[in-house]
């Protein structure tokens, strides 16, 4: 007598296996799709970020050229990104100033500290050599701050001050070193003056200072780091004229929650005098 085998359980198991295979395939597919979407979103965000940055660069270049702020301006419609930018230009002046807008000044190069305004000449942008810095009562002081490193890794500074009548200016040099091993130690000490304790300039803590240096009829000074690059700040007894301009450019793309914004900041200093003016004391009233 023939019997019949009931395959119902096997059919159920086969159906379950098929369902599991479909679930795994669907999960893998969703994972791949998610990765693709994420990758596409990341690529789009990177491209948009680059376009906003390009807009900021365009605004920065224009303000560097004109010296003026730009309220808001779209890039030419011929460009595909339809981004825009605006810029802000502010002068760097006052009694406390981080020179070079607080960025590091290379050793042996130095930076100019202007005691005269740049509002003279036919262009209204030349140094006013005939109007030296003469705070009441005719003698002002500056205190130069520098460095955030410990003694063995710190810079020394040289300060060459040009003062007096522009027809017959006087060059005076000052040198300071916070490290006693270099000042008086070893076989070849530099014999610099000892640096004093530092302080804060524009909220930045700097470890060393020169102490008060008296200035009468100041025209210009060159402050030169020695041994190391460093940040340099100045605290004056009264406000110093503009040392240059800080330009902030903001580029944007899109609107609302999807808007991407990028900012760039640059410092535009006044043209620097040749190093020979301070090295050899070569001056010309006509210049």
Q: Is residue 199 part of a domain?
A: yes
Which residues have a Cβ under 8 Å from the Cβ of 93 and sit 6 or more positions away?
A: 239, 240, 241, 242, 243
224 and 110 within one domain:
yes
Residue 57 to residue 145: CA distance in whole angstroms: 32
Burial class (CB within 10 angstroms; exposed 0-12, middle 13-18, buried 19+) of 46: exposed
134 and 223 within one domain:
yes
Residue 163 to residue 216: CA distance in whole angstroms: 7
Which residues have a Cβ under 8 Å from the Cβ of 53 and sit 6 or more positions away?
A: 251, 262, 264
Residue 200 to residue 120: CA distance in whole angstroms: 33
Residue 67 to residue 112: CA distance in whole angstroms: 20
Q: Given this model, what pLDDT does residue 285 score?
A: 45
Q: Given this model, what pLDDT does residue 29 score?
A: 63
119 and 17 within one domain:
no
216 and 117 within one domain:
yes
126 and 22 within one domain:
no
Q: Is residue 3 part of a domain?
A: no
How crowded is residue 125: how many other Cβ atoms within 10 Å of its Cβ?
12
Q: Is residue 1 part of a domain?
A: no
The domain of 138 spans 105-229
138 and 73 within one domain:
no
Q: Which residues pair with 264 in a beta bridge?
A: 249
Cβ pair 264, 60 in contact under 8 A: yes
**Which of 177, 200, 229 is at the close of a domain?**
229
Q: Given this model, what pLDDT does residue 41 score?
A: 58
68 and 24 within one domain:
yes
Q: Is residue 276 part of a domain?
A: no
Q: Is residue 144 part of a domain?
A: yes
Q: Is residue 21 part of a domain?
A: yes
Residue 258 to residue 23: CA distance in whole angstroms: 35
260 and 191 within one domain:
no
When divided into structural domains, the chain yields a total of 2
Q: Is residue 2 part of a domain?
A: no
Q: Given this model, what pLDDT does residue 260 score?
A: 86
Q: Is residue 277 part of a domain?
A: no
Q: Given this model, what pLDDT does residue 50 score?
A: 82
Task: Walk along the chain (287 residues) in steps of 10 and give the mean pLDDT of each run.
Answer: 54 67 68 59 70 87 89 60 85 96 94 96 90 81 94 92 90 94 87 96 96 95 96 96 95 82 92 80 49
Closest CA to 218 of 162, 281, 160: 162
Which residues have a Cβ under 8 Å from the Cβ of 150 and sit 6 or more positions away?
A: 207
**CA angle centred on 87, ends 63 and 99, rounded to 5°:** 70
Cβ pair 262, 56 in contact under 8 A: yes
Cβ pair 143, 209 in contact under 8 A: yes
171 and 71 within one domain:
no
* Rg (the chain; Cα; Å): 32
168 and 144 within one domain:
yes
Cβ pair 125, 269 in contact under 8 A: no
223 and 148 within one domain:
yes
Q: What is the pTM of this model?
A: 0.77
209 and 129 within one domain:
yes
Residue 155 to residue 230: CA distance in whole angstroms: 7
């Amino acid at each position: 007598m023939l019997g019949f085998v009931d395959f119902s359980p096997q059919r159920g198991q086969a159906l379950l296996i098929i369902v599991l295979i479909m679930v795994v395939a669907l999960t893998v597919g969703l994972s791949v799709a998610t990765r693709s979407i994420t990758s596409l979103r990341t690529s789009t965000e990177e491209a948009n970020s680059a376009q906003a940055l390009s807009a900021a660069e365009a605004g920065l270049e224009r303000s560097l050229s004109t010296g003026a702020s730009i309220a808001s301006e779209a890039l030419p419609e011929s460009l595909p990104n339809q981004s825009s930018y605006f810029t802000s230009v502010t002068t760097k002046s006052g009694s406390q100033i981080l020179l070079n807008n607080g960025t590091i000044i290379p050793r042996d190069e130095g930076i100019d500290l202007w005691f005269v305004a740049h509002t003279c000449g036919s262009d209204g942008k030349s140094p006013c050599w005939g109007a030296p810095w003469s705070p009441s009562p005719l003698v002002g002081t500056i205190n130069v701050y520098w460095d955030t490193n410990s003694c063995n890794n710190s810079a020394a500074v040289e300060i060459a001050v040009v003062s007096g009548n522009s027809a017959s200016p006087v060059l005076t040099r000052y040198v300071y070193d916070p490290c006693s091993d270099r000042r008086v130690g070893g076989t070849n000490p530099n014999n610099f003056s000892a640096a004093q304790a530092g302080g804060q300039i524009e909220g930045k803590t700097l470890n060393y200072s020169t102490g008060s240096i008296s200035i009468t009829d100041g025209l210009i000074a060159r402050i030169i780091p020695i041994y190391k690059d460093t940040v340099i700040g100045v605290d004056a007894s009264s406000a110093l004229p503009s040392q240059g301009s800080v330009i902030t450019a903001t580029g944007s793309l899109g609107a609302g929650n999807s808007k991407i914004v990028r900012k760039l900041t640059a410092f535009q200093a006044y043209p620097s005098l040749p190093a020979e003016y301070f090295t050899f004391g070569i001056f010309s009233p006509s210049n």
